[in-house]
Amino acid sequence: MTQTTQPSTPPKRKRVPKTAVVLRTSLLSPQMVRVVFTGDDLLTLPDLTFTDHYIKILFPPDGADYAWPFDPDAIRDSQPAERWPVTRTYTIRQFDRAANEMAVDFVVHGDEGLAGPWAARSRPGDVIGFLGPGGAYVPDEEADSHLLVGDEAAIPAIAATLERLPADARAEVFLEVAGPEHHQPLRMPVNTSLHWVHRSESGLGYGQALSAAVRGGDLPGGRLQAFVHGNAEMVRDLRRYLFVEHRVDRRQVSISGYWRTGHTEDRWQATKGEFNQQMEAEEASGV
C-alpha cells in the first residue's frame, strides 16, 4: 500500500484581541463622536507608521449571552454563526504613546447599527475588545501632488494624512458632510485647497455630490498620489474617473469602499469581493 503525504496547512494564527477602556468622549460635530481610549493593552501597540491605521472592534451580536472580555476564536469554534462576535472597522485618528491615549472618531448615523449607537452612548470606564491595527497608506513625500477624497467615515484618515503632509505639499481635498455645521477643524498645509461638499444642499444620495465635485475640479498634476475612501458607490464612480478616464497609476492610489448604503459592515464585507470584481471588469471593458 502506498502512503500519500497530505500537504500540511499551516496552523491558523491565533488572534489576540486587545482591551481598550473609554477615558473620555466629545462631540466633534453633530454626527461625529470622538472616543478616547486608554488601557494597558494600548502600551503594546506597534509604532503607527501609516495614516490610515485601523482597528476591528468586536461586538457581541444582539441577544448574545457573553460580553467583553471573550475569546472570539473560541466562540467561533463552539457556537453557531449567528452568535459569533461581529466586527466594525475604525481608523485610529490619533495615538499618543506618552499619554497612552488612542482617539477614534465615530460617525453617528442614526439609531441603526452597532458601533455608531455604541459610540453615542459610551461613557468613561466602558470597555471594548479590538483586533489590529492594520493599515497601508501614508503620504508619499516624493509625490508632486495629492488628491484626498472622503465622506465622514474617511475624515479621520484624511485628517491624520493632512497632519503628516510636508508643509509645502500640493493637495486637493474633497470632503462630504451633511451640511456646514458638520465641518471640522483640520490642519491645512499652505498649498492645499479644501472643498467641503454638502449632501443636504445637493439633495443627492451619499457620495454623489462628492463624486461630482471631484469630477468638476482640477486633477492635480505631476506625479499624483490619491486616497479615496467612503461610500462604495462613490468609490465605484471615482475609480472609473481615475483609472479609466485619467489613466492614473494604480500603484499611486489607495481607494476602497469603507461602507455601503443599506448594508451592515458584515454584509458589505461578505459581498465586497464580488462588488470589486464587477467594478474591475467594468473598468477593463471601459463600459
Ligand X SMILES: Cc1cc2nc3c(=O)[nH]c(=O)nc-3n(C[C@H](O)[C@H](O)[C@H](O)COP(=O)(O)OP(=O)(O)OC[C@H]3O[C@@H](n4cnc5c(N)ncnc54)[C@H](O)[C@@H]3O)c2cc1C
Q: Smallest distance from the beta carbon of 120 to ligand X, in angstroms?
A: 10
Q: Smallest distance from the beta carbon of 140 to ligand X, in angstroms?
A: 19
Q: Smallest distance from the beta carbon of 45 to ligand X, in angstroms?
A: 16
Q: Smallest distance from the beta carbon of 216 to ligand X, in angstroms?
A: 23
Q: Smallest distance from the beta carbon of 167 to ligand X, in angstroms?
A: 25
Q: Smallest distance from the beta carbon of 2 to ligand X, in angstroms?
A: 49
Binding region for ligand X (CB under 6 A): 54, 88-91, 105-107, 109, 112-116, 152-153, 156, 258-265
Place of cell 485619467: 246
Q: Which residue lies nearer to ligand X by CB, 151 or 172?
A: 151
- Which residue minimizes CB distance to ligand X? 113
Q: Smallest distance from the beta carbon of 164 to ligand X, in angstroms?
A: 16
Number of alpha carbons in the 13 Å side-chain half-sphere of residue 78: 7
Q: Smallest distance from the beta carbon of 195 to ligand X, in angstroms?
A: 19
Q: Which residue lies nearer to ligand X by CB, 166 or 205?
A: 205
Q: Which residue lies nearer to ligand X by CB, 18 or 170?
A: 18
Q: Which residue lies nearer to ligand X by CB, 99 or 136?
A: 136
Q: Which residue lies nearer to ligand X by CB, 36 or 114?
A: 114
Q: Are the C-beta atoms of 91 and 54 separated by less than 8 Å?
A: yes
Helix/strand/coil (H/E/C) assignment for every residue in the chain? CCCCCCCCCCCCCCCCCEEEEEEEEEEEECCEEEEEEECHHHHHCCCCCCCCCEEEEEECCCCCCCCCCCCHHHHHHHCCHHHCCEEEEEECCEEECCCCEEEEEEECCCCCCCHHHHHHHCCCCCEEEEEEEECCCCCCCCCCEEEEEECHHHHHHHHHHHHHCCCCCCEEEEEEECCHHHCCCCCCCCCEEEEEEEHHHHCCCCCHHHHHHHHHCCCCCCCEEEEEEEEHHHHHHHHHHHHHHCCCCHHHEEEEEEECCCCCHHHHHHHHHHHHHHHHHHHHHCC
Q: Which residue lies nearer to ligand X by CB, 42 or 115?
A: 115
Give the integer Cα–Cα distance in Å for 251 and 248: 9
Q: Which residue lies nearer to ligand X by CB, 85 or 156?
A: 156
Q: Which residue lies nearer to ligand X by CB, 42 or 220?
A: 42
Give the integer Cα–Cα distance in Å for 138 and 157: 10
